[in-house]
Amino acid sequence: MKVAYLVNQYPHSSHTFIRREVAAVEQAGLTVERFSIRRSGELVDAQDRAERDRTRYLLDEGVGRLVLAVLRELIRSPVSVVRAMWCAWKLGRRSDRGVLRHMAYLAEAAILRKWLADAGADHVHAHFGTNPAMVAMLCRMLGGPPYSFTVHGPEEFDRPEQLHLAEKVRRAAFAVAISSYGRSQLCRWCAVDDWPRIHIVRCGVDGGFLRCSPVAVGSDPDLVCVGRLAEQKGHAVLVEAAARLVAEGFRLRIRLIGDGPLRQSIRTMIAHKGLETCIELAGWQSNDAVRCAILASRCLVLPSFAEGLPVVLMEALALGRPVIATYVGGIPELVENGKCGWLVPAGSVEALAEAMRDALTVPAERLEEMGREGARRVAMWHDASAEGRKLAALFRESARAHEMKA
């Protein structure tokens, strides 16, 4: 069986979980074709650069070829094009993206349908319930193969009606959530009759993390935070908490790995608090560099305001490091307060500072004990190979159902 993956930007420095999932699906015996709507920026990881060479990009075709693709589809199947165009127009009117953007999605779907047919793809799977799922849905309406999509959150749950999540689920062969919380949010916005087709397939880590030999926690007061520098990650709360601990006389070093739209404002805040020697903005790093940074720390901190279930928490726990996180999204499904880390209310500088104070002062043996519990949980619930087999089984089931209807 041949499956096509469609992502808005693939590969991407913050989407290593998709790359792992693709590899796991291939290990489960399926052939995977990679497609992306647009290219990412600079890629620091060699594995991501290798994936880029295996990926085809819809927007590389240019406006002219996108228009020609729609005309070609109109000649091939005029009824299908009219129905897809009507759907795009109707949904665009009720979307914050507008009709014109949805017509662009239709053109991308026309290119994709031809590519999928040429590749002999039996199924297309989109990551994220945003424009990739819309393109996959319109491609199906044009005569492309059945589609499915994975919803991660939190962005999709911020505007489910404008993204037409219910419509995308209704037309899909199945939909995937990465946590019980995520599935509950899809169920909230979808018809009850569609609930049985919403499955949980968790993001996972690979053997490089699951089989990592234990590394003792050092005595240095180092913490690490890995994530996109964006509003939802709560970095400003982390800077405030760090300033409070420094004022109390604590020595600490925090490495912020990642980049994003808030980089300059975070840099300004760090300078305003006089924390330049305590907090480092490291930018995006390779997988190996992230692993080394986590192992060099006492714990990982992620003070998010909104999340699905961050893969970096799985990575840190798999490496035997406890985490400090917040009671949002699917995080409490993995992290239990006092067992494998600390959970604090999102936005609370006081609670975050208290958890960081504990992480800096408890004995290393206690941190290692928490890390072992975290590694056990990750191995049980977030093995990329096991989750890839679940997804491959869903793809095969979809293919069988499609053949029976044909």
Phi/psi for 3 (5° steps) reads: -115, 140
Mean pLDDT of 236-263: 97
pLDDT at 115: 98
Q: How much is the average pLDDT of 334-339?
A: 97
Indicate whether 213 pLDDT > 90.
Answer: no
> CA 284 → CA 22, 66, 78, 319, distances in Å?
22, 33, 46, 19
**CA neighbor of 94 nearest in space, from 132, 125, 134:** 134
* Tens-digit pLDDT profile for residues 266-296: 999 999 999 999 999 999 998 889 999 999 9
Phi-psi category of residue 341: left, alpha or beta, with phi > 0 → left and psi -120 to 50 → alpha = left
Q: What is the mean pLDDT of residues 194-215?
A: 92
What pLDDT is stored for residue 260 in this prediction?
Answer: 94
Chain centre to alpha carbon of residue 215: 27
Does 401 have pLDDT greater than 80? Answer: yes
Among residues 280, 244, 219, 227, which one has the least CA distance to residue 356?
244
Average pLDDT of the residues in 84-105: 96
CA distance 262 to 396: 42
Instruction: Return the pLDDT at 312.
Output: 96
Smallest CA-to-CA distance from 338 within 310, 363, 373 is with 373
Q: How confident is the model at residue 404, as a pLDDT? A: 85
> Alpha-carbon distance 21 to 204, whole Å?
8
Question: What backbone phi and psi angles, to 5 degrees, belong to 5?
Answer: -105, 140
Residue with tokens 């609930």: 195
Do 113 and 143 touch, CB atoms closer than 8 A? yes
Q: How confident is the model at residue 11 (pLDDT cuts 50, 70, 90)?
A: very high
Segment 258-268 mean pLDDT = 96
- The whole-number average pLDDT for the span 136-156 is 97
The answer for residues whose C-beta is within 8 angstroms of residue 258's C-beta and 6 or more apart is 14, 225, 226, 227, 228, 229, 233, 282, 283, 284
Per-residue pLDDT at 287: 85
- Omega within 30 of 0 (cis) for the link into 154: yes
Distances (CA, A) of 239 to 61, 118, 217, 305: 43, 51, 23, 14
Please, what is the Cα angle at 36 between 32 and 41, to 5 degrees? 125
Mean pLDDT of the 19-44 span: 95
CA distances from 295 to 112, 213, 214, 321, 363 (A): 42, 11, 9, 7, 16
Of all residues in the chain, what percent carry a pLDDT higher than 70?
Answer: 100
> What pLDDT score was predicted for residue 344?
98
When pLDDT is cut at 50, 70 and 90, the band that residue 72 belongs to is very high
pLDDT of residue 31: 98
Strand partners, 240: none
Flag whether pLDDT at 42 surpasses 90.
no
Please name the residue that has the structure tokens 């920026």: 41
Res 212: pLDDT:
83
Q: In the chain, what are the domains?
A: 2-204+384-405 (3.40.50.2000), 207-381 (3.40.50.2000)
d(CA 324, CA 233) in angstroms, rounded, equals: 13
**Mean pLDDT score of the chain, rounded to an integer?**
96
Alpha helix ranges (H) inside 248-383: 263-272, 287-295, 311-318, 331-334, 349-361, 364-381
Tokens for 37, please give them.
């709507």
Whether residue 61 is predicted with pLDDT greater than 90 in this model: the reply is yes
pLDDT number for residue 200: 98
Longest dimension (CA), the chain: 73
Per DSSP, 60 falls in state G
